[in-house]
Chain A
Amino acid sequence: MIKDITILIAGAAGQGIQTIGTLLARVCHRAGLFIFSSDDFESRIRGGHSFHLLRIGTRPLVAPSLNIDILAAVNERDYEYHRERLGPKGIALINSDTKKTMESHAFYLPFDASAKAAGGMIASNTVAAGALLAIIGAKFKDFETVLKDNFRDKSEEVLKLNLKTGKQGYDIGRDIEFPKYFDFTGGRHGRVFMTGAKAAALGALAADCRFFSFYPMSPGTGIISNAAQYGNELPIVIEQAEDELAAINMAVGASFAGVRSLTATSGGGFCLMTEGLGLAAMTETPVVIVLAQRPGPATGLATRTAQADLLFSIYASQDEFPRFVFAPGSVLETFNTVKKAFYLSEKYQVPAIVLMDQFLADSAGTETGAFQTGHEHETFLDQETQMSQDQAYFRYKLTGSGISPRKVPCLSDALVRATGNEHSEEGLSSEDPRVRTAMVEKRFRKQVLMKDEMRMPLVFCEDSSFYLTGWGSTKGSIMEACLRLREEGIDVGWVIFEDIWPLDSHRLKTLLENKKLIMVEGNATCQLGSLIRQETGIDYVTRILKYDGRPFYPEYIIERAKQIMGK
């Protein structure tokens, strides 16, 4: 039987709601269940209203859901805050040492008191996790295994406390009836459960990225902190720069010297990086920038999500130059896209920007596809050291493809000369109008080939009346909304962009001609819709936009789509 439940774990910042979610996810993942989780939190370290959303199912999940089956509230006020989101048959577990009165669906449970009695308030989350796991049908020995693994680096005492409190919670939960429980009979499987941020880090490592420079900024930092986990195993250097200007310039410097480099940031940091982006373009030095979007302008909403930097990333920095812009739509795709971004950035000697957002970076999903290395780590560097005369090497040699042989400095007699000034073939500043024209054209010759590397958007259901059209992190919600609408007999398909720029207008026009597009975007001006119109002359029919800093849920798209289609 297909089962699909959503648990909302609510609490204040610093109360460990993610810890509860992680424990649950690990037990469910071991049992072969599919998970999609997302985090909603405020820009503060303590207090406020945060929640962790955990969707668990017997088949693959690609999006979060708003139909809450279980609400776990760390404080009573969190229950009051979120209770209206609870579905009609949902139940609530509320942490309370005093209140005993039971509403029909609300259970006041002594998580804190149990933990305190067992020897430490700190294990209160383990009590809650135990209770939740019992309710959804998990076996205690699976929970035990996960706890042992989770606390393997901690003292015996800490593990003992957590096993004890876990059991207490489990026993509390056993008494609560929940009809949508799972069997937990699944065994070994090769599936992966991880966050978008981790997938981005692994994608970089799988493409042989060895240098990561960054300045901390939510939600981009998670990509770097994930990469840092591998510092003992892989030859990597991670450097926290003094600012984003330094971060991008360090990445360009390292890349110039022959090491693949990445920097990760959010919109505000990317603003500072735009001059460095131009330097990468002018010096034709590869670099990968992961831009995890959040609402702006200025500080905006630091821990929230948005899709409003699409046009900014395409046009960022002065004048014109070719670049890649990608927008992966899932965890696995983030891995593959970052990997590909390194390969293509080096192949064409252009900067590559991977657009993520808070939702994608912090969400975790069960992926059925494989995370593997491919050919992307292979270098395009000309490493020939036998070079008799330096005059023979021109860093910016004019070629038919626009791609010049790229060497690293101090490896041969060939002198590598790069400059952010307009330059001659040998890399010396030049103000000659013929040189200028030739160099602009050389750089743009690459874009012709770059377009051929770009995949067209995914189109689902040819000949549908309407197409929900989006890009990046909304992919899962759009797909699920579309399928659910179709189950209700509503004729709708989807068009989802993952490779954004450069855009092959001709191919895109052929693909989208005569399709009625309903744009679904996390911004206020319908940026992709505008871009499609600009590049192909095809105008969208209407749009579903959201710019409240929160992610798109399938339910929201379904509701709006029905209104639009008059259903």
Chain B
Amino acid sequence: MAAIQFDIENENEWCPGCGNFAILAAMKKAFIAQGLEPRDLLIVSGIGQAGKTPHFMACNMLHGLHGRALPLATGAKIANHRLNIVVNSGDGDCYGEGGNHFLAAIRRNIDITLLVHNNKIYGLTKGQASPTTALGMKTEIQNRGTVSSPFNPVATALAAGAGFVAQGFSGNTEQLSELIVEAMSHKGFSMIDIYQPCVSFNKINTHLWYKERVFDLKEAGHDPLDYEKALQVAHMGAEKIPTGVIYKSQSPSFTDRLDVLKTKTLFEYGFDKLKMNDILGRG
């Protein structure tokens, strides 16, 4: 199988040099590694440059509203829990507009994989500060420097009880595709926050800036089963950026917890007219 089967005749709208190209390549690579074909995948996305991702590959797609990709994906997963669902979201989409859904998806432990394209800036709306923009960073609107502290998605996910938390970097597609494979094979909610440069609007957190700071947690001997260590990793700050699986723990996923879905998907059930009429007869 080759990446070509995921190709689609649709003009890619990202800026040349955007980190999204590498993320898309890593996704395709991860799907191929798992033997998945376009027909096996449902990609759900929100709004922003990340939200456009499924438009640039062959797959089933539900491209929804700003911030609402997770509830859409949750509904689809409940309807058919055999679907392989990957969500493409961005730092504004997931941590800003969709913050409440992010927390709720973790609590539900819904078995989907969330990829957050985190470039620490709003790209599609042309360069405003995002929830992960560094304190004091200047933008056209935040022209005296961003006033709020950056949101820490990994620490928040850990605190909320996420069962699979990883940090990726678009500059390391090899590692990123491995992380995506591992996240998708995790039974339950899995998230990968993916650092990526925004070549048009973030002149500080560039590809080179990341390159100088990232290190591989696996090589550093990090144990992703150790929650305390994971919390330390989440709070390492911006000067040394850990990538890899930060934390992993297994617990039954949302759909595993529902008896009605033990034998069949909700979609597969038939309509039992006799039973329904019996219920109606009882008044």
Contact = CB atoms under 8 A, between A and B. Distances in A.
A413 B39 contact: yes
Shortest 3 CB-CB distances between A and B: which pairs? A253-B75, A409-B60, A250-B75
Nearest to B255: A237
Given A242-B103, A249-B64, A420-B65, A237 B76 contact: no
Interface residues of A, number: 61
A418 B68 contact: no
Interface residues of B, number: 54
B144 interface: no
Contact of B63 (A246, A275, A421): A421
A114 B142 CA distance: 72
A250 B72 contact: yes
A416 interface: yes
A424 B278 CA distance: 46
B100 interface: yes
Contacts of A413: 39
A237 B71 contact: no
Interface in A506-553: none
A417 interface: yes
A457 B21 CA distance: 57
B61 A419 contact: yes
Given A235-B260, A257-B83, A420-B63, A246 B71 contact: yes
Interface string B41-70: 110100000001011001111111101101
Contact of B273 (A245, A261, A377): A377
B101 A242 contact: yes
A415 B279 contact: no
B83 A246 contact: no
B125 interface: no
Scoring B54, B74, B75, B78 by chain A CB atoms within 10 A of each residue's CB, the highest score goes to: B75
A429 B51 CA distance: 12
A73 to B, nearest CB: 31
Given A242-B104, A257-B75, A410-B83, 9 more contacts: A193-B283, A202-B280, A246-B71, A254-B76, A371-B280, A373-B276, A390-B39, A410-B80, A414-B39
A255 B269 contact: no
Contacts of B39: 390, 410, 412-415
Interface of A: 192-194, 202, 205-206, 208, 210-211, 213, 230-231, 233-237, 239, 241-243, 245-247, 249-259, 261, 275-276, 279, 283, 371-373, 377, 390, 408-410, 412-421, 427-429
B215 interface: no
A501 to B, nearest CB: 23
Contacts of A390: 38-39, 58
A410 to B, nearest CB: 5
B209 interface: no
Nearest to B66: A275
B104 A409 contact: no
